[in-house]
Amino acid sequence: MLERKQLKDRSQVTFVLPADAPPGPVSVVGDFNDWQPGAHVLEPRKDGNRAVTVILPGKSVHSFRYLAAGDYWFDEDHADAHDGINGRLQT
């Protein structure tokens, strides 16, 4: 799930997943962090989910995926679009 908050000239995007699906550490990896695993690791929240927030430039488009333990890549069903194997996010 994606949570969004519009800021003055930027967008705050929070990537949210259930606490245990998939199990183990998960990071969001995309063009906004040079596809570096571990740069944005989802952390537990009080509501039982885990999440990470990324600040992105306004009026931009980004590609991303999730990377879980065991080199397991997966997509966000609620992405704005999909471009091949990557989710697309428009701010």
pLDDT by residue, tens only, the chain of 91 residues:
999 999 999 999 999 999 988 999 999 999 999 999 999 999 999 999 999 999 999 999 999 999 999 999 999 999 999 988 899 999 9
CB count in 10 Å sphere of residue 82: 13
CATH number of 20's domain: 2.60.40.10
Number of separate domains in the chain: 1
What pLDDT shows up at residue 84?
85
Phi-psi sector, 10: left (phi>0), alpha (psi -120 to 50), beta: beta
Domain encompassing residue 21:
2-90
Collapsing DSSP to helix, strand or coil, 45 comes out as coil
What pLDDT shows up at residue 21?
87
Amino acid identity of residue 35, one-letter, is W
